[in-house]
Amino acid sequence: MTVDERIHTASDLLWTHWVDGRRLSAIPEALRPVSREDGYAIQAQLEARSAHPLFGWKIAATSVAGQKHIAVDGPLAGRLLQERAFASGDTVPYGANHMRVAEAEFAFRMRVDLPPRASDYAVDEVMAAIDTLHPAIEIPDSRYDDFTIVGAAQLIADNACGHYFVLGAAAPESWRAIDLAAHRVVGQVCEAHKEVGRVREADPPVSRVTREGIGANVLGDPRIALAWLVNELSRLNIPVRAGQVVTTGTCLTPLEIAPGDRVVMDFGTLGRVETVLADE
């Protein structure tokens, strides 16, 4: 089997399990990626399966605790597919979700392209390329029975646990003057009000789980995480495109979720993002 055949076969296997909501213990040894680069080559096949341009990028394992939990030594990049991205207030499928958590994240929309280059981008350079900041929710999932033991290469191949994503409205332009590392975020899992398709904004949430976090939980600062993503892709000869969204990792301990839950992430002056998980 050629290298290309191995990459495509491994990608086909993971994609089928994703669509069908099934799990596997690991990628078979003959197809298994042995390096981060191998993992990214398998992940890259996802874009060809989408009918739309790539929505953006995600970062997994942006805290030391998160890295220890899944036995990796650094962050991982994954792709956000347009078909799996939603707006605040939308109902998101729950399905056969294995991880069963929701994460509060700072997300950035790009204003201009950042092409690959030999030298790393500085944080200030990356921030100058940003159009808007958004509060966001990531609902991750894995195609592995136990995603904590398969290692970085297989996790990257599995899209760094990418699954569903919810983007809130753009924050006020004053966000650029805010210390995002110190910024407080409150996440809640609430009783959902039964209304098809949309959340009723006027109904006050009744919290079942509440947790707080700050931007510093994301590699020390969401802006640092964003620069890491740009440079990780640059080393892989992948540009970050204007209009794409980059979500930078959870800034609080992930919230346990179940079908029918309403998830609310309050970013204070930066806005709020919420979703209801389909009761199925």
List, in order of start, the domains of the chain with CATH numbers.
3-277 (3.90.850.10)
> How is residue 87 annotated by DSSP?
E
All residues at 6 or more sequence positions from 248 whose CB lies less than 8 Å from its CB, including other chains: 59, 62, 105, 106, 107, 108, 218, 219, 222, 225, 226, 229
Strands (E), 54-95: 56-60, 76-80, 85-87, 91-92
Token code pair at residue 244:
């794409």
- Three-state DSSP class for 140? coil
Buried b (16+ CB within 10 A) or exposed e, 71-106: ebeebbbbbbbeebbbebbbbbebeebbbbbbbbbb
Please give the pLDDT value at position 229.
98
Please give the pLDDT value at position 191.
76
Task: Please identify every stretch of the chain with a pLDDT value under 70, giving residue numbers as ranges.
Answer: 192-205, 280
- Three-state DSSP class for 52? coil
Token code pair at residue 203:
């109904």
Please give the pLDDT value at position 203.
57
Residue 92 Cα distances to 68, 104, 168, 200, angstroms: 29, 15, 14, 15
Question: How far apart, in whole angstroms, are the C-alpha atoms of residue 49 and residue 143?
Answer: 17
Q: Is 173 exposed, middle or buried (0-12, 13-18, 19+ CB in 10 A)?
A: exposed
Please give the pLDDT value at position 193.
56
The whole-model pTM stands at 0.94
